[in-house]
Structure 1
Amino acid sequence: MSALFEPLRLRGLELPNRAWLSPMCQYSAGADGVPTDWHLVHLGARITGGFGLVLTESTAVSPQGRISAADVGLWSAEQVDGWRRITDFAHAHGTAIGVQLGHAGRKASTMVPGHGRGSLPPEQGGWPALAPSATAYRGFATPVAASTTELDRIVADFASATERAVEAGFDVVEIHAGHGYLLHQFLSPRANHRTDTYGGPFENRIRLLVRVVDAVRAAWPDDRPLLVRIPGTDWVDGGWTPEESIELAVRLAGRGADLLDVTTGGLDPDQRIPVGPGYQVPFARRVRAAVPGVAVSAVGLITDPEQAEAIVGDGDADVVLLAREALRDPSWPLRAMARLAPRRLTESYPWQYSRAVPAPSTVDLTK
């Protein structure tokens, strides 16, 4: 049996394989943050495409936490109803679905991609961005340094969004603490210049994320898994380091995180990333070695079925997340299955597409 197509159990949820859809912003919600027909069709294609778990794009826990005015959210009952339409579709087709909860911090209130760059001007509906410190991401407006009262509210917003995720029918929640958004900003000395209990030493910089993890885990049912996306490195001097990632992973493993989704970069425009196939996999490998009791995922330029199979089969990660490749090919897992685990094809194809199942003569049935 292919390692990529072995099931994985996280708490009370069994996922049929280890090829999952990575969260990817679509910037296609209305001003109310409700998912639209685009989200149903976009996620629906991957729901029927064989992914073991489908994760939504980063979903804002508050209006202020949106990256752009076209972001989806989970702060209202109307949004719950919009997501329920999509989770019902997933469950009707036997696919698990998770929501990634996030807050953009100093990268909030930006122009919608394709409609401009940089921060959205106030006269066009922009709003003040909150951050650890009043230090802008280059090219963006200067944010407001969050008060401790505002940080308390943000923790509560994550908890409330988690409760709405239960109402919306999600199977998994992921906390987004990577890609230069708010929780990552607190982790990194390049963005966090505070002198209170949320800044300075490692213990202080991880404080907000730890509080969010505790609040989300308390609001999330015990039988459902919690994922946390963490940075492996900032790729810049004076930033977050791989050693800090490992120490953070150990802490989160003891606080109810069931899978650590290891990514890199996005915090500082001075980053220098040696981009290439699987370039982030070594960071996942190190975290997995440090926390053997917790699952770890790898993401980043994973495109080929044999490449994904090797990552899981060699023990570099428990799961691979597909991003751009999944945009190009919504049925990537079915294509990979035809090459790696052809005996699973008939049970995995939607019956409406059964005429497209590759004939046995075209695949190697010895695998």
Structure 2
Amino acid sequence: MSALFEPYRLRDLTIPNRVWMAPMCQYSATPEGPETGAPNDWHFAHYAARAAGGTGLILVEATAVSPEGRITPYDLGIWNDAQVEALRRITRFLVSQGTIPGIQLAHAGRKSSTDLPWEGGAPIGPDALGWQPVGASPLPFDEKHPVPTELTADQISDVVGQFADAARRALDAGFEIAEIHGAHGYLINGFLSPHSNHRTDAYGGSYENRVRFALEVVDAVREVWPEDKPLFFRISATDWLADGGWSADDTVRFAADLHAHGIDLLDVSTGGNVSGVRIPTGPGYQVPFAARVKAATSLPVGAVGMITDPEQAEKILANGEADAVLLGRELLRNPSWARQAARELGGEVRVPNQYHRSV
């Protein structure tokens, strides 16, 4: 059997294959009013198509734990019950197709309050549906972003509680997996990296202090997330700086800490915390970081980043570099990538009765 189409078990949950959809923001939610942050017909059609296409696990895009935690005013949120009800529509359909529904819980930190990417993505203020960003330290992401307000210890505690509340709502909405977003320069990543964390209190300075907030979030979410359900963490394995940033060595060390605190899989990405840094992209360019964590720790890992070809994905798993692959842009291009890959590799995926003529 193809390794890509072997089921994968974490805790009491079996994921039908190793073709997983990475969280990708759609920036398509209503920005204000009673339906703020709730998914709509676009989100339903988007995720439903990938489930019908055979994807084993779909991680719904970065979903903000508070209004101020959104990247843009058009992001999904999970801070109220109206959002929960709208998310249930999506999870019900995913389950009906044999796909595991997952959700990424997020706070954008100093990179919040920006315009739509296709409108330029520039920071916006209260006069344009924006707000004042917060961060680990009063250091802007770049010269275009405003100086974020440094979170106090009490405010950090509040955000930890928001992640726990979001996890409770995610469970109520029907999700089987929750992922904590600790990557790409957003709030948790901003605390982890010495490039963006210049604090002098218990949340800054040493490695132990810089990871404190992240582990507090993990502990709070794990406490309310059922023991039989997996919890993921997405990490930027490197800031891509020669020195002065978060490194691959830090990631390996942190992976062991995360595992000890109840994380079941590390979703390994890179970058996003340093503006203008040069990233040497190419097919599978982030896979070596996942492979290093897998070789050095007992924590399962997912690989992501320019994985586009079925044979490429199969080789990553067959070589033991990762336990699953997460596809992003390729699933935007081809919602039925999993079914196509199964045909090429001799694997099997569930095909909806309505699509049997396509087999």
TM-score, normalised on structure 1?
0.95
| Alignment counterpart, residue 320 of structure 2, candidates 311, 315, 318 | 315
Spell out, residue by residue over 1:97-139, the C-alpha distance to the aligned partner (whole angstroms, 9 max, x if none).
1000000000000111122332112211211111001110112
Specify which of 228, 246, 256 is matched with residue 240 of structure 1: 246
Asked if 1:262 corresponds to 2:268, the answer is: yes
Match of 1:84 in 2: 88
Match of 2:17 in 1: 17
Displacement of 1:270 in angstroms is 3.2
Q: Secondary structure at the match of 1:82?
A: helix
Distance between the aligned counterparts of 1:91 and 1:230, measured in 2? Answer: 27
* Residue matched to 1:349: 351
Give the aligned partner of residue 40 of structure 2.
36
Q: Residue 141 of structure 2 is aligned with which of 137, 141, 144?
A: 137
Query: Unmatched 5+ residue regions in structure 1?
Result: 358-367
- Aligned-partner Cα distance in 2 for 1:178–1:68: 17
Alpha-carbon separation, structure 1, partners of 2:45 and 2:126: 32
> Residue 67 in 1 paired to residue 71 in 2?
yes
Cα distance, 1:260 vs structure 2: 0.5
Give how far 1:349 is off.
1.2
Q: Which residue of 1 aligns with 2:160?
A: 155
CA contact (8 A) 2:56 2:98 kept: no
Corresponding position of 1:285: 291
> In the TM superposition, what is the alpha-carbon distance from 1:196 to its structure 2 partner?
0.4
Q: Secondary structure at the match of 2:47?
A: helix
1:105 match: 109
For the 8 Å contact 2:139–2:148, the answer to whether it is kept is yes
Displacement of 1:94 in angstroms is 1.6
Answer yes or no: is 1:183 the counterpart of 2:185. no
Secondary structure, counterpart of 2:3 in structure 1: coil
Q: Structure 1 runs of 4+ off > 6 angstroms? A: none
Q: Counterpart of 2:234 in 1: which secondary structure?
A: strand
Is residue 232 of structure 2 the alignment partner of residue 227 of structure 1? yes
Aligned partner of 1:133: which letter?
S
Cα distance in structure 1, aligned partners of 2:294 and 2:227 = 23
Contact 2:37/2:75 (CA < 8 Å) preserved in 1? yes
Q: Structure 2 CA distance, aligned partners of 1:55 and 1:242?
A: 24
Alpha-carbon displacement from aligned partner over 1:145-184 (angstroms, at most 9, x marks no partner): 0111110000000000000011100010000000110000
Secondary structure of the structure 1 residue equivalent to 2:4: coil
Q: Distance in 2 between matches of 1:117 and 1:351?
A: 41
Check the 8 A contact 2:125/2:132 in 1, yes or no: no
Q: Kindly, what percent of the aligned residue pairs are identical?
A: 52
Counterpart in the other structure of 2:277: 271
Aligned residues: 353
Instruction: Return the alpha-carbon distance in structure 2 between the equivalents of residues 192 and 105 of structure 1.
Output: 12
CA contact (8 A) 2:218 2:261 kept: yes
2:10 aligned partner, one-letter code: L
Tell me the SS of whatever aligns to 1:197: coil
Corresponding residue number in structure 2 for 1:328:
333
Match of 2:256 among 247, 250, 261: 250
One-letter amino acid of the counterpart of residue 22, structure 1: A
What do you get for the CA RMSD once the two structures are aligned? 0.8
CA contact (8 A) 2:236 2:272 kept: no
TM-score (norm 2): 0.97
Counterpart-to-counterpart distance in 2, 1:124 and 1:23: 26
The AA in structure 2 aligned to 1:235 is W
Displacement of 1:271 in angstroms is 1.7
The C-alpha deviation readout for 1:212-250, integer Å capped at 9, x for no partner, is 000000010111000000121000131100000000000
The Cα shift of 1:350 comes to 1.0
Deviation (angstroms), 1:295 = 1.2
Structure 1 letter corresponding to 2:69: G
Could you tell me which residue of structure 2 aligns to residue 49 of structure 1? 53
2:8 corresponds to: 8
Distance 1:6 1:55 in 2: 19
